[in-house]
Homo-oligomer: A and B are copies of this chain.
Amino acid sequence: MTEDKRFVTKITPKSKDFSKWYTEVIRTAELADYAPVKGMMVIRPYGYTIWEKIQELLDKRIKESGHSNAYFPLFIPESFLQKETEHVKGFSPEVAWVTHGGEEELEERLAVRPTSEAVIGNMYSKWINSWRDLPVLINQWSNIVRWEKVTRPFLRTTEFLWQEGHTAHENYEQAQKETLQILSMYQEFVEKELSIPVISGKKTDREKFAGALATYTIEALMSDKKALQMGTSHNLGQHFSKVFNIRFEDRNQNLQHVYQTSWGVSTRLIGALVMAHGDDSGLQFPPRVAPVQVVIVPISKGNWKENILPTAQKMESQLKNSGVRVKLDDREEFTPGWKFSQWEMKGVPLRLEIGPKDIEKNQLIAVRRDTREKESVPFDSLIDKVPHLLKDIQKSMFEEALKFQKSNTYQTEDYQEFKSIMDSKKGLVKAYWCGNSQCEEKIKDETMATIRAVPLIPQEKRSSKKCICCGAQTDTLAYFAKAY
Contact = CB atoms under 8 A, between A and B. Distances in A.
Interface string A63-102: 0000011111111110010000000000011111111111
Contact of A35 (B40, B42, B102, B123): B123
A367 interface: no
A274 interface: no
A320 interface: no
Nearest to A267: B71
A93 to B, nearest CB: 5
Interface string A111-146: 010000001001100110110110000100011010
Interface string A126-169: 11011011000010001101010000000000110100000000
* Interface SS, A side: mixed
Nearest to A333: B132
Contact of A68 (B35, B49, B142, B161): B49
A102 B147 contact: yes
A126 B35 CA distance: 11
A283 to B, nearest CB: 18
B73 A37 contact: yes
B130 A2 contact: yes
B68 A159 contact: no
Interface residues of A, number: 61
A43 interface: yes
A354 interface: no
Contacts of A36: 73, 77, 80, 119, 122
B70 A2 contact: no
Nearest to A30: B127
Contacts of A2: 129-130, 132, 249
Contact of A42 (B70, B93, B147, B158): B70
A33 interface: yes
Given A48-B68, A68-B45, A145-B74, A100 B97 contact: yes
A99 B35 CA distance: 18
B42 A73 contact: yes
Contacts of A384: none
A73 B40 contact: yes
B1 A73 contact: no
A44 interface: yes
Contacts of A375: none
A82 to B, nearest CB: 13
A97 to B, nearest CB: 4
B97 A98 contact: yes
Contacts of A249: 2
Contacts of A103: 93
A69 B42 contact: no
Given A74-B143, A80-B36, A112 B98 contact: yes
A202 to B, nearest CB: 29
A403 B36 CA distance: 50
A52 interface: yes
A263 to B, nearest CB: 17
A41 interface: yes
Contacts of A94: 102
A296 to B, nearest CB: 19
Nearest to A94: B102
Contacts of A126: 33
A110 interface: yes
Contacts of A41: 73
Interface string A32-63: 01011100111111001101100000000000
6 contacts: A1-B133, A2-B249, A49-B68, A74-B145, A94-B102, A96-B100
Interface of A: 1-2, 33, 35-37, 40-45, 48-49, 51-52, 68-77, 80, 92-103, 109-110, 112, 119, 122-123, 126-127, 129-130, 132-133, 138, 142-143, 145, 147, 158-159, 161, 249, 333
Nearest 8 pairs of A and B residues by beta carbon? A45-B68, A101-B147, A1-B129, A43-B71, A97-B100, A40-B73, A35-B73, A102-B147
Given A36-B119, A37-B110, 14 more contacts: A1-B133, A2-B132, A2-B249, A35-B123, A36-B77, A49-B68, A71-B161, A74-B143, A74-B145, A93-B103, A96-B110, A98-B98, A101-B147, A143-B143
